[in-house]
Chains A and B, each alone.
Chain A
Amino acid sequence: MKPEVILETRKLTMRFGGLTAVDDFNAKIYKGSIVGLIGPNGAGKTTCFNMISGFYAPSDGRVLFKGADITGTPPHEVCRAGVARTFQNIRLFGNGTVLQNVMVGCHVRQKTSWWQTVLYLPSNLKEEKAIAEKSRGLLKVFGLEHLAGEKAKSLPYGAQRRLEIARALATEPQFLLLDEPAAGMNPQETNELMGFIRDIREQFKLTILLIEHDMKVVMGVCEHMWVLDYGETIAEGPPESIKANPKVIEAYLGEEAIADA
């Protein structure tokens, strides 16, 4: 049986003035896989996410989700279609509680409307209650249920990262984009996180595209990866072939040289 393609990009290109941040990015992502987008800082990874999730309208190229063209669709509709994302620098609703953050994620699937709330209709009361229940359930999966009533911005860093993923899952996505989820974590935490990502893939029947800037981190989880450097796709393939690819080594060596200087 041939696996089904869930997301496809064709010649995706983003130019900012004279700078081509992403140039001709082509990818086919199969349903149920965990794949990675790696590359040094400034390579254009986040820009790819922004184009896929509708934050940027690509200068060129197409994004297809489950066969439908979603190029240039606004972010909230992309989310409704089933694509959720996290952000590289955590973006929580800082003044809301942890529970509220997740409940906001549930809103996109909510059927009853604000005026039903005002009219105190039973259907709305029931749904609101169900949403709170569901959100608590999600928090439990992420080990955050004891923090449900805390303000999101008061959480420790690691918990904030997890909350952001929990919130994204509340939108009931089929496709999840994680932008450097392991940023700022030590190797042990990173390992746990990668295991956890594999678990939620099973539990929520997800396909996951993962950005990582440190190549070693994702070697273990990703089944397939793309390597960007200065916007260009310099390599594509399973982890083993990427590891051995001289172009990739060169790109990363260049970066290490800069980091060491």
Chain B
Amino acid sequence: MSWAMFVQHLLNGLTLGSLYALIAIGYTMIYGILRLINFAHSEIFMLGAYSVFWGVTLIHLPWPIAVTLGILAVAALGVLVDRVAYRPLRDAPRSSALISAIGVSFFLQNLAIVVFSAIPREVYRPTWLETVILVGDVRVLPLTLLVPVLSFLLMLGLIYIVYKTKAGLGMRAISKDIETSYTMGVPVNRIIALTFGIGSALAAASGIMWALRYPQLQPIMGIIPGFKAFIAAVVGGIGSIQGAVIGGLGLGLVEIMAVATFPELAGYRDALAFVLLIGILLIKPTGLMGVKLEDKL
């Protein structure tokens, strides 16, 4: 592999990885608080991408406005999903909420098929994102640089919220112990709603950038990135935001590099993440950083 090629792959891996990371943050925040794998998160990601398509191609909004409105709308949808499908099940057995999440995921996916049809759509891309720049021997799309930088900024913002604001304190309190948080007067439902809002906004941002990078929209486009991001969150230690970021970046890099080094394994690319997941769960049944909850007898 030439040096230029290596840098090229590195950048690609970084781009893919930061997109995973943005989605993984949503999974990890929600799991951290509710112990729920939010299957619908991958559809939130998909709808984020579609929202811009809708705004620009169908309603002819200017691109930046379409992006802003899209993210807001999808964040609101995330909150709505929690309100309708998860909140009534807070006291139910955990697998009930999980089934509900799977149901929402299928519902949104197929609703997208009904509304947008299953035919892949082209996405509008501002031209300045498509002009190739040459840095030495490396050909770079501005997008490839923009995605990691933007993702990084978003994550910084998030970390600020979680560690420096009152709402963030509430989030951390709930993820430690939801029962106690109730009794301590933490507005639990409001903070959970906020968490869904933030997680969904990040997933939407990731979806929008994904659609720019791999410019095709399909109602099922969220499934695979969604699973992989979830796995990244588990690998990084579910519940930890930094872990989700590291897991996402790591998975993106490993995936791109593995396929670049062993092109004959390209067909197995989508299985790689799952193999990784199962491997890790076998070594540590609660994920890499997870703590074991002993059964109190």
Q: Interface digits, B270-297 against A, CB 8 Å rule (1 contact, 0 not)?
A: 0000000000000000000000000001
Chain B residues in 8 Å Cβ range of A88: 297
A252 to B270, CA, bound (A): 62
Chain B residues in 8 Å Cβ range of A233: none
Q: Interface digits, A168-181 against B, CB 8 Å rule (1 contact, 0 not)?
A: 00000000000000
**Interface of A toward B, CB cutoff 8 Å:** 46, 49-50, 55, 87-88
Q: Which of B138-174 contact A (CB under 8 A)?
A: none
A200 to B297, CA, bound (A): 25
Q: Measured between C-beta atoms, what is the minimum distance from B174 to chain A in Å? A: 25
A88 to B297, CA, bound (A): 7
Closest to B296 in A: A89
A87 to B297, CA, bound (A): 7
Chain A residues in 8 Å Cβ range of B297: 46, 49-50, 55, 87-88
Closest to A87 in B: B297
Q: Measured between C-beta atoms, what is the minimum distance from A229 to chain B in Å? A: 21
The 6 closest A-B pairs by CB, nearest first: A50-B297, A87-B297, A55-B297, A46-B297, A88-B297, A49-B297
Closest to A49 in B: B297
Q: Which of B71-94 contact A (CB under 8 A)?
A: none
A87 to B296, CA, bound (A): 10
A38 to B297, CA, bound (A): 17
Closest to A16 in B: B294
A103 to B228, CA, bound (A): 45
Chain B residues in 8 Å Cβ range of A87: 297
Q: Measured between C-beta atoms, what is the minimum distance from B35 to chain A in Å? A: 21
Closest to A91 in B: B297
| 6 chain-A/chain-B pairs, Cβ below 8 angstroms | A46-B297, A49-B297, A50-B297, A55-B297, A87-B297, A88-B297
Chain B residues in 8 Å Cβ range of A49: 297
Q: Measured between C-beta atoms, what is the minimum distance from B81 to chain A in Å? A: 30
A50 to B297, CA, bound (A): 8
A63 to B154, CA, bound (A): 57
Q: Measured between C-beta atoms, what is the minimum distance from B21 to chain A in Å? A: 33
Closest to A88 in B: B297
Q: Measured between C-beta atoms, what is the minimum distance from A1 to chain B in Å? A: 37
A50 to B295, CA, bound (A): 11
Closest to A179 in B: B297
A151 to B297, CA, bound (A): 22
Closest to A47 in B: B297
Q: Measured between C-beta atoms, what is the minimum distance from B260 to chain A in Å? A: 45
A92 to B297, CA, bound (A): 13
Closest to B295 in A: A55
A249 to B265, CA, bound (A): 72
A55 to B297, CA, bound (A): 9
A90 to B297, CA, bound (A): 9
Q: Measured between C-beta atoms, what is the minimum distance from B291 to chain A in Å? A: 12
Q: Measured between C-beta atoms, what is the minimum distance from B96 to chain A in Å? A: 15
A233 to B297, CA, bound (A): 21
A58 to B297, CA, bound (A): 15
